[in-house]
Structure 1
Amino acid sequence: MRRLLFLSLALAPISIALHYLVHPDATVEFVLAAIALVPLAWLIGEATEHAAEHTGPGIGGFLNATFGNAPELIIALIAVNEGLTEVVRGSLTGSVVGNLLLVLGASLLAGPRGALDRWSSFVSFAAIGFAVLLFLVPSIPAWSGDPDRDLIVWLSLPVAIVLLLVYLVVTVYSLRRHRSLHVATDAEITAWSLRAALAALAVATIVTALVAEILVGSLEEFADTAGLTDFFVAAVIVAIVGNAAEHGGAVVVAYRGKIKLAAEIALASAAQVAVFLIPAVVLLSLLIDPLALGFRVVEIVALAGALGVTAVTLWGGHASKLRGAVLVSAYVLVVVLFYLAGDRPL
């Protein structure tokens, strides 16, 4: 699997070269760029893990949260620059829902029965629930009128700031808690050198930005050709692609028997998007074109429903294939809901 991912990194320069030299059909560009983003996301995660061996678990966790979300962040900011606000909101919503239902469900299906960390799950559920409640502040007024008007933008800013503060508090607490943990010595480290890991992060992030620009630029034409709405493509396809490597990692971990770790990866990823990535996109968009968190009714329903179904399914704190099937089935229903929703105003 690792060898295949390494080899598939060649798709990124190929997609970039084709875009600038051959100018292929938009559908070809979108599909190729989407596939190329998967190994790039994996490389960013891989380089982050190697860097973490040098920095220790605390800073390593911070690096993972920051760079692990890089593909989604880059896609979102490029879409903001293109004025595709529905695409941005849809991809972020789809990412949270996908982690809660699809990734966690697939992990439970792939892994063995076992106990889960109830406290860790509760923290993730609380963070996501708090975020969804705050999203109502700008979303409810956006359900009537232009969802991108100035009022919605100004209502979104304090929401983003509060969520980011929550994330920073949790991060600082985590750093302090891990301060006393062992950091490997140079003799113990078998990973890439810190310089090599940081260089890989830099190169992968730059290439990801170029490929993401191709993806976003061809999204509308691809959606038209496929008979899909921009919102559906963003909330389902782009959301899965942006997290594909991380999603696959959780399922592989579960398949290897580490079901507790796999569940934590899926839930923590969903929480990170809700309380870190979404507010980060809002604040960074001020440098480009202010983004309003005017989520549609269907998006709020999907977020709240996914959170509720996942919390009820995992209430007993145990993993099983039946619970996994319930979550994956719920994701299929959300995909159908997104397809039927179409464009505004629903």
Structure 2
Amino acid sequence: MKFLRVLLIFVPISIIAKFFNFNETVIFILAALAIIPLAGLMGEATEAISIYTGPKLGGFINATFGNATELIISFFALKKGLFEVVKSSIAGSVIGNVLLVLGLSILAGGIKHKTQKFNKNIIEVSSSMLLFSVIGLTIPAIFTHTMDINLLNTKYEGLSILVGIIMIVIYILSLIFSFFTHKDIYAIEEIGGNSNHKVEKGWSMWKAIFVLLLATIVIAVESEILVGAVEPMTHALGLSEFFVGIIIIPIIGNAAEHSTAVIMAIKNKMDVALEIAIGSSLQIVLFVAPILIFLSLLFSPMSIIFNEFELVALIASVFIANRVANDGESNWLEGVQLLAVYIIVSAAFFIV
């Protein structure tokens, strides 16, 4: 990910722009460009740490920090009460990973290698878990959208907390499954998007920890700048906070990981590319979403009730992921189809 480090120049530039009160749209763009390479550094640091801690603990670290950038951005959005941005970013991360990242990976790999094969057993486990998790996450929304609101005897927030607890339990059980009871399935590829590509050589344990901590702190600063500019930027450009949350923020938070998936596909490592896309989505649903629900209790409780547009896009996306994983091979046309769906979905969200 060395080519992304050029963007680190935007870290001081964005801070200066904020200090001198530049245009909010400019500040948003500068902060977004600064976050992208910082997320890449965080990924490299967690991978380096996993080399020293071993595959089991390393897998847990990668799973925990894999979506840390988006978690930090969402935390500051929660702090400002931008609940729609937070909820739409959860849905957008899943949709973006399954349609955009997977589509680009399959297209890029398919152009070079025509037909690519991958370990069907590994991907089936992750894609099936993603399907069940997303269905569980969307059931409260389906229920509230189909029931008369006057018949509900509790608040949405209480239901969301219960769902969050269940998701965290499933997440812990999935780690036990992956790293203990059925670790033989993952003998070749470790679970989680950030654990599969080559790490820069020469990183000591302490260097990796220092880079991880420093990147996390700077991302927190940049995230606060980014979130602070969301409302003025959306008003200036005529965008909805909903569109920013479901399309823009997921791309910013996961850009480094997305580029890795495409590179792995070009190298004909489709097992890695698919696990990055599907595994990252799984972490969002089972780990990030529940954590954000619990963090919202520090400010104002947030319900995890998605709107109808998000529901349709989420469920359709995970069904597509399962379809792609069903036959154990992919080609460039499947990538084009996934990208076409993503473009259509993005256009629909843009006009909402």
Q: TM-score, normalised by structure 2?
A: 0.88
Q: Could you tell me which residue of structure 2 aligns to residue 184 of structure 1? A: none
8 Å CA contact 1:135–1:295 kept in 2: the answer is no
Instruction: Answer whether contact 2:130 2:278 (CA < 8 A) is retained.
Output: no
Q: Retained in 1: the 8 A contact 2:66–2:280?
A: no
Q: Which amino acid in the other structure matches residue 12 of structure 2?
A: P
User: Does the aligned pair in 1 maintain the 2:135–2:315 contact within 8 Å?
Assistant: no
For 1:61, the equivalent position in structure 2 comes to 59
Q: Does 1:156 align with 2:160?
A: yes
> Cα distance, 1:294 vs. partner?
1.1
Q: Partner residue of 1:172?
A: 176
Q: Quickly say closer, same or farther: Cα 1:145–1:205, change in 2 above 3 A.
A: farther
Residue 150 of structure 1: how far off its partner (Å): 7.1
Q: Pick one of 93, 102, 105 that aligns with 2:103.
A: 105
Contact residue 160 and residue 280 of structure 1 kept, 8 A:
yes
> What secondary structure does 1:339 align onto?
helix
The change in CA–CA distance for 1:314 and 1:130 in structure 2 (over 3 A counts) is: closer
Deviates more, 1:223-232 or 1:204-213: 223-232
- 1:93 offset after TM fit, Å? 0.5
> Conserved in 2, the CA contact under 8 Å of 1:138 and 1:292?
no
Q: Give distance in 1, aligned partners of 2:92 and 2:42.
A: 21
Q: Deviations over 1:283-336 (max 9, x none)?
A: 222223222101101111000011122322443221110111111111111112
Q: CA deviation at 1:18?
A: 2.1
The residue number in structure 2 matching 1:295 is 306
Question: Equivalents in 1 of 2:274, 2:335: separation in Å?
Answer: 11
Aligned residues: 331
Residues 131, 319 of structure 2: 8 Å contact kept? no
Find 2:125's aligned residue among 123, 126, 131: 123
Q: By how many angstroms is 1:271 displaced?
A: 1.1
Once the two structures are superposed, the pairs formed by residues 136-147 of structure 1 within 5 Å of their partners are: 136-140=138-142, 142-143=144-145
Cα shift at 1:145: 6.3
Moved more, 193-202 or 123-132: 123-132
1:276 corresponds to 2:294: no
Q: Give yes or no for contact 2:124–2:326 (8 Å, CA) kept in 1.
A: no
Q: How does 1:160-309 map to 2 (within 5 A)?
A: 160-176=164-180, 190-309=201-320
Deviation at 1:267, TM superposition (A): 1.0
For the 8 Å contact 2:105–2:273, the answer to whether it is kept is: yes
Q: State whether residues 85 and 241 of structure 2, in contact with CA within 8 Å, keep that contact through their aligned partners in structure 1.
A: yes
SS of the counterpart of 1:24? coil
- The corresponding residue for 2:81 is 83
1:142–1:15 distance in 2 versus 1, CA, 3 Å? farther
Q: Which residue of 1 aligns with 2:193?
A: none
For structure 1, the 5+ residue unaligned runs are 182-188
Q: Which moved more, 1:54-63 or 1:125-134?
A: 125-134
Residues 25-74 of structure 1 show CA distances to partners (whole Å, capped at 9, x for unaligned) of: 00000111111111011000011111111011111111111112111101
Contact 2:103–2:337 (CA under 8 A) maintained in structure 1: yes
Query: Which stretch has the larger CA shift, 137-146 or 297-306?
Result: 137-146
CA contact (8 A) 2:102 2:277 kept: yes
Q: How does 1:302-321 map to 2 (within 5 A)?
A: 302-321=313-332
1:295 aligns to what SS in structure 2? coil
State the match for 1:16 in structure 2.
15
Cα distance in structure 2, aligned partners of 1:130 and 1:16: 42
TM-score (norm 1): 0.90
CA offsets per residue over residues 1-27 of structure 1, 9 Å max, x none? 51x32232231232123212x110000
| Distance 1:118-1:324 versus aligned 2 partners, 3 A rule | same
Deviates more, 1:44-53 or 1:309-318: 309-318
Amino acid at match of 1:224: H
Percent of aligned positions with the same letter in both sequences? 40
Letter of the structure 2 residue corresponding to residue 288 of structure 1? F
Structure 1 window deviating more from structure 2 (149-158 vs 66-75): it is 149-158
2:27, 2:121 → 1: CA distance? 44
